[in-house]
């Protein structure tokens, strides 16, 4: 009996987060959609590895690490910094001639072609990082007031901001895959910035907006996952149909 076809969804975390940010998703998704969070160096299960601050170098490392897992249909998802890293990862995979993802999902992050990363290019002080966390409305005051927890989080957050600041668009050919973008209606990342993602696909594009600020993926988790699942199902069905035609 043949193994059922599954879609592997590689999920890239937002600034300061570990792969645990997507642990709930594993329980919420159907069996055919396998959530595969990627742990970045310097956090979670990779705490003993040095933090990275060069986004292309990190994308290249991740591309090499997941290359053996591209034996089945897959897609990339990233929220905030994770969306930009997913974009770099898609390019790193293409440069290596590896199988392309069925789709790229970018959440709460401006399109790469016109984004300004200058404010992230210089290391921020602890206080600046804490104020930024307040602005993003995703971290409670009790967490911000926990000195021990902040002592662990701030170096990761500082490196992640530098990671974002290292991004350079340069000359990029559009990616040959659909790009689906998600945004929060009350987020500081505006709709026109999300629409900039259109220039980076030679395939389909969509934009879905949800109630909430930057961390709408927590506040609106179920509606977001329903939307993501619908797109993933469409792409997997299309892939199956293509495979069936090729096998005739």
Residues acting as catalytic residues: 80
Task: Tell me the C-alpha to C-alpha distance, in Å, between residue 98 and each of 30, 67, 69, 191, 196.
Answer: 26, 7, 11, 32, 26
β-pairing, 104-107 vs 179-184, is: parallel
Return the C-alpha torsion angle 51, 139, 104, 202, nearest 10: -100
Q: Is 140 exposed, middle or buried (0-12, 13-18, 19+ CB in 10 A)?
A: exposed
Write the CA distances from 48 to 21, 55, 148, 153, integer angstroms: 19, 19, 18, 14
Strands 179-184 and 74-79: unpaired
Distance CA 219, CA 230 (A): 19
- Of 241, 102, 88, which Cα lies nearest the Cα of 180? 102
The count of other CB atoms within 10 Å of the CB of residue 86 is: 27
């Amino acid at each position: 009996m043949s193994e059922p076809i599954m879609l592997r969804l590689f999920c890239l975390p937002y600034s300061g987060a570990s792969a645990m940010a997507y642990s709930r998703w594993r329980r919420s998704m159907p069996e055919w959609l396998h959530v595969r969070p990627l742990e970045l160096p310097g956090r979670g299960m990779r705490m003993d590895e040095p933090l990275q601050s060069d986004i292309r170098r990190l994308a290249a490392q991740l591309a090499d690490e997941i290359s053996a897992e591209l034996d089945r249909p897959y897609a990339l998802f990233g929220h905030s910094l994770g969306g930009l890293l997913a974009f770099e990862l898609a390019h790193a995979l293409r440069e290596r001639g590896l199988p392309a993802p069925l789709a790229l999902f970018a959440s709460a992050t401006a399109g790469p072609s016109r984004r300004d990363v200058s404010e992230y290019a210089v290391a921020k002080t602890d206080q600046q990082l804490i104020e930024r966390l307040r602005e993003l409305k995703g971290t409670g005051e009790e967490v911000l007031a926990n000195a021990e927890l902040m002592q662990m989080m701030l170096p990761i957050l500082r490196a992640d901001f530098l990671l974002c600041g290292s991004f350079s668009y340069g000359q990029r050919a559009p990616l040959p895959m659909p790009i689906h973008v998600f945004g929060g209606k009350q987020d500081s990342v505006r709709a026109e910035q999300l629409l900039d993602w259109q220039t980076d696909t030679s395939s389909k594009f969509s934009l879905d907006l949800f109630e909430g600020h930057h961390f709408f993926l927590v506040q609106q988790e179920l509606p977001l996952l329903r939307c993501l699942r619908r797109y993933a199902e469409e792409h997997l069905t299309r892939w199956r149909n293509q495979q069936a035609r090729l096998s005739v």
